[in-house]
Structure 1
Amino acid sequence: MKPNFLFKSLIALLLFGTSQSCLAHFAWVTTDSENRALLFFGESPDERAYKLPESLLKAKVNALTEGKKHADVKLVEVDEEDFIGRRSAEPVNPRATLATSLTYGNYHGTLLKYYAYHAGQVATDPPRLTQEPSEQKGSKQKVSAAKPQAGLEVIPSVSQRGLCLTVLWQGKPLEGVEATLMVGDGESEKSKSDRDGEAWFPPPVTGGGETQIAAIVGHEVDKEGTVDGEPYNNESHYATITFMHTNKEGNTEPREAATSAAANTHSAYPPVAEPVTSFGAAVSDGWLYVYSGHTGAAHSYSREELSTHFQRLNLSGGSAWEDLPCPRPLQGLAAATYDGKIYRVGGLEARNADGDEADLHSVADFAVYDPKTKTWTDLPALPAARSSHDVVVIDGTMYVVGGWNLTGETPGEWQGEILTYDLSQESGSWRPLEVLKLKRRALSVGEHEGKLVIIGGMNEDNDITQKVTIYDPATGQVSDFAEFPGSGMDGFGTTAINQGGQLYANGLEGVVYRLDAAGQAWQPVGELQQPRFFHQLVPGPGKALLAVAGTSDVEHLGDIEVLEVAK
């Protein structure tokens, strides 16, 4: 493709305040048709025959795979007619993120530093973001996702809302910087980052096949110093990013038009009323119950974006969902069954209207639904409101684990106490579990041979963990178990269920794991056709597992996938 002149001119203006595009050269990292890493210096990612500066000859490129593993990429210098730069002799992992940083030097009194990235895979959400809100109103959690070095970072994501470039400086969101984006041969677009470091663009319309997307971001730092014995008055930092984008099945319409409903392609069961995530689900007496959840676009919260449906489906040949009374639309709640009744615990409500600034509040609700009378009854409220938690019932006792309490403007308060409630008694009360406290959210809990199993989640340091903790009610002992398989986001928004006396768990990786008979290791027993998280695993007919709704790396889901697990 031919380089876009407007794109180069905008870069020149960004860097030099002039349209002399011959001055606007940057470091770029990408891959070729054989998936070899390329490092070069040019005006755009398509101009690859410019002489390499000395600093680029010394720069190191590293590859990040599986969320945590960094590895140096060995490059050799290449001088060909169409390419002058450095290239890896061997292909790199196609899903890896490639990253480099280098100091160009003193340019007319300005210290120039370059950062270049290539994203082998692109998420649907900005870093560490799903439909789970952050500690503070309107502020989202960020984490450096691409590199071991500090500095300027750009992380792309593509969702039904659009294309987002998350800009981080020293690992924190950077507000007010301008990002310039080019999609294929199309005209360049510009957007400024908000307080979450997010610069948003319309969904890319690329037609069929893969299209290269490139972007550049600049950041000025008012700092004096010397480099190579020469003084400078300020610093200029510039980051480039490249990645490939493919519209599903060659779709050339904006992504909103392509995701109005989730297709039921994995089972004979009809989809839920609307694609939904962060909902409550449980199975009782052969009926699947689904309560409310989040239906809006990623990172968008309002009353209108909470499902108003409480519905059930007969798993023995049912062809349609039955609507039931839904007294309070919520997301981030938890549900469980006991003695034929459905219990819902906590959750999060949005008190703002669509388009207004998010006003999010966790709730302390505890209520039970009786299918015989089709009525809800309020039970003693939680000692404190919480959302993004999970619950499980073991021998008649409900355990509420994890979560936090969001209260609008104030920072979220992590809920470290594990609460218990004796459902076998006509009147009960909440009691804290004295021997174990932990602060995690977006986790899952399950039961294995009478023991409470706590899986993954995010801790109060905003780190995703694969840690598994086990509590034995019979002995009061607490122990750590083998970590849940996977890395990166795989421990976030997981789900767990006991089916046929065995504990199963699943995360974004898509693999369903079972705790082995000895309770010593996780065994893979199957894989979902559509990986997802913030969904629910529930027991199906026989020994089948049902994966209900949730969100994939592209869109909200409403389907039910049936998995017949291996013996």
Structure 2
Amino acid sequence: MNILNRSRLALVAVSCLTLSNLAHGHMPWLTTDDQGHAVMWFGESLEDRTYHMPEKVAAIQLSDGNSTLSTESVESDSLIGIRSQKAVASAEEVAGVVTYGLYHGTKLTYHVEHLPQTDSSTWPTQERANAPLQSIIIASPTGGLSVTILRDGKPAKDVEVKLYCEDGHEETAATTDIAGIVTFKSSVVEPGLNAIVAGVTDGKNKGTLDGESYSSTTDYLTATFRIPGESSKNEKVKREPQRPTMEADSDVSIVPSNLPALPEELTSFGAAIAGNNLYVYGGHTGSAHSYSTAEQSDRFWCLDVAAGENGKWRQLAGGPSLQGLALVAHQDRVIRIGGFTATNASGEEHSLHSQNSVAAYQAATDTWTDLPSLPEPRSSLDAAVIGDTVYVVGGWKLNGESDESQWHDTAWSLDLSDDKATWQPLATPTFQRRAISVAAHQGKLFVLGGMNSDGKPTTRVDVYDPVAKTWAEGPSLPGSGMSGFGSSSFATGGNLYVSTMDGFVHRLSSDQKSWSTLAKSDPARFFHRMLPISKNELLMVGGANMEIGKFTQIDRIVLP
């Protein structure tokens, strides 16, 4: 994935934008009216709809994906702006871009978007072609939002994104991470019309416009969408997002495990069970989208689960600080694979480096021994063991402060029973994804969910057959939006189970063609680990929830 960084992207806060006599803090906002016509105005907020619209802004060309919209001027007590002459296509995103002109030496351009769909599960997840600044907004199954900002089709990091509700006030703000993503909790997303605002300034982009020179460019994006419920304007928006349907006769339960809580809050860590021991390595300890040496763990923990509530966590020999790694068990060893390390201090620009290191832990000596390194640095991956062979799939290569991150289109295997073995390539995967979960089931490798190289979460499932050396697409995970992002999966008792971001636990059917929904954890968690301790019990360890943060409590999934 290409990550913009050379031309430092920075948001100029809208509330502080000094447009002097032009329009202090005003910008265009786009939505649809009760008749489905696109309407746009020029104001300080979603509520400020009667400010004069500059002629250059009114000349914007709007499109609903199918065609350019013909618009006409509107001037009433409630709206001054433009309105499309016909209703827009409700299944398409409405968008437009217009250059206002030069202001204080910068070329000023406005970008507007609106999602007319009231069912958030149908919001588009594909970027528009040739859009210089745009967003992809996805509703979380838990009620929050994921927003990806794209600049010239590439994820834009370090861009501040502000969230506004219908009555015009700013709810919150967040800065995009290396994948161009911010997340907003459901507690700050109000029913009714919402908007996000983002802006980028490129101080190295010079040129001329209408015979005048400019020394920089400034682009602002406003994107609006409706959230179901009763808004502050008493506008009821219907059609809740679709959710998986629980089996009526399911006797699966999720209960506290009564095991000692994790010694620290962790996400994106490695975990495995070998014998009676639960092992946990590394992970992210900081706040969302913040990475530094102080927010990564280099610790290696062990808990004897057979001791129950009387067990105690022991800190074993650690190693490098890592997150986004894989940890698997093979016989009496634990194998650590890949991950990334932050080398920047707190508050500094992120410098993240994927690793290719692989090591085996021997409990008898409390030591790590290096195994053959991965053929390339890799993080946000996962791995599983079939027989004596470990398989590594998914992930990307982070290059520190480089502009580019490489999404891997390779997968590898290593024979753990052969001291002289080297990593062997699998058949080329038919996908590029990270934040996946990988599980071994009935001699095959299942790669579940994650995020694809376009920066969009997916519920897709792919299956690798090591004997036939072929990939095939399996049944997608139930749910929509981000359900497949940061899941955890494992097989036990002859069945494959997955725990998804929306809290549901699903089981793959015996014919491997569908999923059944068996239980729901409350609160839900993601970037956790789900591991079996018997053929009818799984533990849910660590992870986080968008609303409440990270978990230390360990829960137990009781299977029939």
Q: Among residues 325, 341, 354, which one is paired with 1:333 in the alignment?
A: 325
Q: What is aligned with 1:496?
A: 489
Call closer, same or farther: CA 1:53–1:233 in 2, change over 3 Å.
same
Output the CA distance in 2 between the equivalents of 1:285 and 1:176: 44
Q: What is aligned with 1:537?
A: 530
Output the CA distance in 2 between the equivalents of 1:469 and 1:480: 4
Post-superposition Cα deviations, 1:7-37, rounded to whole Å, max 9, x if no partner, equal: 99855x33xxx2464x8754324699x9x99
Post-superposition Cα deviations, 1:290-340, rounded to whole Å, max 9, x if no partner, equal: 111111233333322212432233445325641221421321221112334
- Give the gaps of 5 or more residues in structure 1: 1-6, 64-69, 122-142, 158-162, 246-264
Q: What is aligned with 2:133?
A: 152
CA offset at residue 518 of structure 1?
1.0
CA offset at residue 346 of structure 1?
2.6
Pick which of 209-218 and 498-507 moved more: 209-218
Q: Match of 1:153, as an amino acid?
A: Q
Instruction: Look up the SS of the partner of 2:49 in the other structure.
Output: coil
Q: What is aligned with 2:112?
A: 116
Q: Does structure 2 conserve the Cα–Cα contact (< 8 Å) formed by 1:315 and 1:541?
A: no
Output the CA distance in 1 between the equivalents of 2:518 and 2:68: 34
Q: Does structure 1 conserve the Cα–Cα contact (< 8 Å) formed by 2:179 and 2:455?
A: no
> How is 1:341-352 mapped onto 2 (pairs within 5 angstroms)?
341-352=333-344
Call closer, same or farther: CA 1:354–1:19 in 2, change over 3 Å.
same
Tell me if 1:382 matches 2:369.
no
Instruction: Look up the SS of the partner of 1:546 in the other structure.
Output: strand
Q: What is aligned with 1:267?
A: 256
Q: Match of 1:324, as an amino acid?
A: Q
Call closer, same or farther: CA 1:189–1:446 in 2, change over 3 Å.
closer
Call closer, same or farther: CA 1:415–1:38 in 2, change over 3 Å.
closer
Q: Match of 1:296, as an amino acid?
A: G
Output the CA distance in 2 between the equivalents of 1:475 and 1:156: 39
Q: Among residues 465, 476, 479, which one is paired with 1:472 in the alignment?
A: 465
| Number of residue pairs matched by the alignment | 495
Q: Does structure 2 conserve the Cα–Cα contact (< 8 Å) formed by 1:469 and 1:479?
A: yes
Call closer, same or farther: CA 1:532–1:117 in 2, change over 3 Å.
farther
Post-superposition Cα deviations, 1:238-296, rounded to whole Å, max 9, x if no partner, equal: 43346899xxxxxxxxxxxxxxxxxxx97354432222111111123343221111112
Q: Does structure 2 conserve the Cα–Cα contact (< 8 Å) formed by 1:179 and 1:199?
A: no
Output the CA distance in 2 between the equivalents of 1:333 and 1:39: 48
Call closer, same or farther: CA 1:25–1:514 in 2, change over 3 Å.
same
Call closer, same or farther: CA 1:190–1:10 in 2, change over 3 Å.
farther
Call closer, same or farther: CA 1:368–1:206 in 2, change over 3 Å.
closer
Q: Among residues 93, 96, 102, which one is paired with 1:101 in the alignment?
A: 96
Tell me if 1:27 matches 2:28.
yes
Q: What is aligned with 1:48?
A: 49
Output the CA distance in 2 between the equivalents of 1:176 and 1:314: 42
Tell me if 1:289 matches 2:285.
no
Instruction: Look up the SS of the partner of 2:512 in the other structure.
Output: coil
Tell me if 1:455 matches 2:448.
yes
Q: Does structure 2 conserve the Cα–Cα contact (< 8 Å) formed by 1:528 and 1:561?
A: no
Q: Does structure 2 conserve the Cα–Cα contact (< 8 Å) formed by 1:324 and 1:374?
A: no
Call closer, same or farther: CA 1:378–1:112 in 2, change over 3 Å.
closer
Q: Does structure 1 conserve the Cα–Cα contact (< 8 Å) formed by 2:191 and 2:226?
A: no
Q: What is aligned with 1:551?
A: 544
CA offset at residue 515 of structure 1?
1.7
Post-superposition Cα deviations, 1:360-415, rounded to whole Å, max 9, x if no partner, equal: 433343333344x3613414232434332222111232222233454545655555
Call closer, same or farther: CA 1:314–1:79 in 2, change over 3 Å.
farther
Instruction: Look up the SS of the partner of 1:318 in the other structure.
Output: helix
RMSD between aligned alpha carbons? 5.8
Call closer, same or farther: CA 1:119–1:475 in 2, change over 3 Å.
closer
TM-score (norm 2): 0.66
Output the CA distance in 2 between the equivalents of 1:178 and 1:520: 42
Output the CA distance in 2 between the equivalents of 1:538 and 1:71: 51
CA offset at residue 352 of structure 1?
4.0
Tell me: higher relative CO, structure 1 or 2? Use CA pairs within 8 A at least 6 residues apart. 2
Q: Does structure 1 conserve the Cα–Cα contact (< 8 Å) formed by 2:60 and 2:98?
A: no
CA offset at residue 198 of structure 1?
7.8
Pick which of 350-359 and 163-172 moved more: 163-172
Output the CA distance in 1 between the equivalents of 2:313 and 2:130: 54
TM-score (norm 1): 0.65
Q: Match of 2:366, as an amino acid?
A: T
Q: Does structure 2 conserve the Cα–Cα contact (< 8 Å) formed by 1:281 and 1:290?
A: yes
Output the CA distance in 2 between the equivalents of 1:390 and 1:416: 14
Tell me if 1:170 matches 2:152.
yes
CA offset at residue 79 of structure 1?
8.4
Identity of aligned residues (%): 30
Instruction: Look up the SS of the partner of 2:324 in the other structure.
Output: coil
- Give the gaps of 5 or more residues in structure 2: 1-12, 118-123, 139-144, 228-253
